[in-house]
């Protein structure tokens, strides 16, 4: 028995069940990151110095500790991945499955690129003795960027499924599959938007 409103919009909301679900999920994610950003603001306002002393050095700005060029590169990578996942969905709307696979593959590759850059950044901190326990600033940095990285990994898992075994639905129910890619795209755009807020907040301010 087919679940209703997976393809056609619900009469009461005007959107499909999957879109209602993703917006509710993203609302909970906004509350999660909103709480974390709020904690960051209160901790920073209460700190006598920011980012303060750590690993035997006194720092006056985050840019002395964090790599702004690497963060800027990751920003470009995520923005590009948002464009490619839109192109993947648009390819399905145009009934071009092979082009969909190309754009979704690029999206996944860019996602791994983001994690690779972040891994280099983390490794550099650890080499210089900059661990989360060193200071409030580093604790916030690793928590916020770490939770965001987990969301990136989640996006990779979902998008990889839709590129691989999940893509079989294209042959049996192309419209529902297209809807699923749209939902995956909404989640991925959220991940990108969170980073766009994280980058200036942690690295530049």
**pLDDT band (50, 70, 90) for residue 1:** very low
Query: What pLDDT shows up at residue 152?
Result: 98
pLDDT 10s digits, 87-98:
999 999 999 999
pLDDT 10s digits, 60-78:
888 889 999 999 999 999 9
Query: What pLDDT shows up at residue 18?
Result: 84
Residues 6+ apart with CB under 8 A from 95: 174
Alpha-carbon span 190 to 184, nearest angstrom: 10
Question: Which domains are assigned to the chain?
Answer: 17-40+63-204 (1.20.120.80)
pLDDT 10s digits, 91-129:
999 999 999 999 999 999 999 999 999 999 999 999 988
């Amino acid at each position: 028995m087919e679940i209703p409103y997976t393809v056609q919009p619900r009469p009461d909301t005007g959107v499909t069940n999957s879109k209602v679900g993703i917006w509710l999920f993203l609302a909970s994610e906004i509350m999660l990151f909103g709480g974390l950003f709020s904690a960051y603001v209160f901790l920073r306002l209460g700190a006598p110095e920011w980012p303060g002393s750590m690993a035997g050095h006194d720092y006056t700005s985050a840019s002395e500790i964090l790599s702004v060029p690497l963060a800027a590169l990751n920003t470009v990578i995520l923005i590009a991945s948002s464009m490619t996942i839109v192109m993947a969905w648009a390819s399905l709307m145009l009934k071009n499955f092979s082009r969909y696979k190309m754009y979704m593959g690029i999206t996944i590759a860019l996602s791994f690129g983001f994690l690779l850059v972040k891994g280099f950044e983390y490794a550099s901190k650890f080499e210089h003795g900059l661990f989360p326990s060193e200071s409030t600033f580093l604790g916030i940095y690793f928590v916020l960027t770490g939770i965001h990285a987990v969301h990136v990994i989640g996006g990779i898992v979902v998008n990889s499924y839709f590129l691989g075994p999940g893509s079989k639905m294209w042959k049996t129910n192309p419209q529902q599959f297209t809807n699923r890619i749209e939902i995956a795209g909404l989640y991925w755009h959220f991940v990108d938007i969170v980073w766009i807020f994280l980058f200036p907040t942690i690295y530049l301010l």
